[in-house]
Amino acid sequence: MAGEKEKRAINRLESMRPLRAKVNETYLKSVEAMQAGKPAVWGMLNFYYGDPVLKAMDIEVVYPENYGAIAAATGVAQQYLDRANADGFPTHLCGYSLTTLGYASRMMKELKGQIPPEAPLGGMPKPLFLMSSAAICDARYKWFQSLGRYMDAPVWTLEAPTPGVKEFFIEGYYDRMVDLGVKHLSSFVTFVEDMVGRKMDWDKLDKTANLMIEINRVWHEVNELRKVKPCPMHSRDFWSAMPAALFLAGDLEDSLGLYQDMYKEVKGRVDSGTGAIPEEKYRLVFAELPPWHSLSFFDKLAERGWNFVIESFGYRPPIPIDLSKVSDPLERITRFNLQFFAGYYEDARKQNVLGGAFAYPYLKYAREWKCDGALLHPLISCRSASTHLPYVSNMLMEKLKVPSLSIEGDIVDLRLFNPQDALARAEPFEETMEHYRKMRKQEGLDW
């Protein structure tokens, strides 16, 4: 019965299901390929920068950050955490990094390179090389560097320029970011070629880049449709559908078709006035990593009329940018990657929000998607997903009179997020949202 009720609480998109199935199928296929000896790379989420290169070279990529979530959800993470701590890694480090370090320790030191039998979903095989990234947090390149203790896998660290909001507008600044990006990516291509002993197929890279950009444009348009009331698509569908666009999981042509189908379905809902939940009383923005293991928590909130209409800056497609006249695929990829952050800068400067790409997007989301509240989810062992949240909360209140509810969780210690407690805190927050609705009206804000 509970299951039936959950289904009704959120009206999930039909078009999300084949997209999700494709991603899962691709994952299993790549596990099989890797088990059969196809070289694999361990990668960090890098926002459309290194991934298209690997995709065009037909290299299988596994993402230990994601694998950390799987290990946590299946209950095997603890032994890896313990092992990493025993090896001397401090306990306060990112939980996913400790999981991977413990996993690598077990695989390389104890099992002489064999995948640990307890590893869920076929495990992660020893990588040919590691692709780390400087984007978002320090852990994401220091962690891969630390893996050198366990495996002699070369590391490539992808640069990720992070300008200040004012500084970005200094003459020539953006061009220099592009210049860095293109040169860096070009060296990365040479590195990958040397590693796999094959040359890049530039036509394929060109096509891959275009598909990546188009998929993300359509995906962006899908999310724009969510501005209407009632919002036709819930955050749960966003999270389920995003890996194909964010990680380029699966065949890109297939993905493009599936996102187009999703656009049609969501547009249909807009036209017919169908919402993602039966009665939309409150529209909310969610930041940042969701409690993957407790997503049914959102169904409970849906029953109370909470619709999550926009979410997680770190997973969103860049604001579209016309790159059709950029002939060099490396430059096109670079500009697209830079757009992930830089797409927000012009507006952030106008609004004088100096908090940069981590804070400004939430103001934009709350204003344009007309949110009544923000649900913030700081994570004990992922500081990068948490650090900016107090600032975001202050800005939302100061500039838009949008209140925030902060509910703590963690990426590996799943007990920290207690859905019952969270629900108990949600109820009084409704009064707060009501109160600020009135305040916004008084201040001349239109929602």
CB 68, min distance to other proteins, A: 15
Nearest by Cα to 376 from 360, 357, 362: 362
Closest approach of ligand SF4 to the CB of residue 68, in Å: 7
Residue indicated by tokens 């819930």 = 234
Structure tokens at 98: 């400790």
Position among 11, 307, 339, 384 found at the interface with other proteins (CB under 8 A): 384
Partner whose footprint covers residue 96, from ligand SF4, other proteins, none (CB < 5 to 8 Å by kind):
ligand SF4
Q: Footprint of other proteins on residues 295-334 (CB under 8 A)?
A: none
User: In which residue are the tokens 């106008």 written?
Assistant: 350
From 1, 3, 37, 90, residue interacting with other proteins (rule: CB under 8 A)? 90
Asked whether 23 and 243 are in contact (CB, 8 A), the reply is: yes
Closest listed residue to residue 305, CA positions, set 377, 393, 401, 373: 373
Distance CA 439, CA 447 (A): 10
Is the Cβ–Cβ distance between 392 and 360 less than 8 Å?
Answer: no
Q: According to the binding rule CB under 8 A, does residue 367 interact with other proteins?
A: no
CB-based burial, 361-383: b 16+ in 10 Å, e otherwise = bbbbbbbebbbbbbbbbbbebbb
Q: List interacting residues with ligand SF4 (CB under 6 A).
A: 65, 94, 96-97, 136-137, 139-140, 382-385, 411
CB of 134 to other proteins, least distance (A): 4
Q: Is the dihedral of CA 122, 125, 131, 136 positive or negative?
A: positive
* Binds 35: which of ligand SF4, other proteins, none (CB < 5-8 Å by kind): none
386 binds, among ligand SF4, other proteins, none (CB under 5 to 8 A by kind): other proteins
**Interaction partner, residue 190 (ligand SF4, other proteins, none; CB < 5-8 Å by kind):** other proteins
- In 218-301, which ranges are E strands? 282-287
For residue 387, state whether it binds other proteins (rule: CB under 8 A): yes
Asked whether position 191 contacts other proteins by CB under 8 A, the answer is yes
Nearest residue to 364 via CA among 310, 315, 318:
310
**What is the contact surface with other proteins in residues (CB under 8 A)?**
87-90, 92-94, 97, 129, 132, 134, 136-139, 141-143, 145-146, 148-149, 152-157, 159, 161-164, 166-167, 170, 172-173, 176-177, 179-180, 183-184, 187, 190-191, 194-195, 353-356, 358-359, 378, 380, 383-384, 386-391, 394
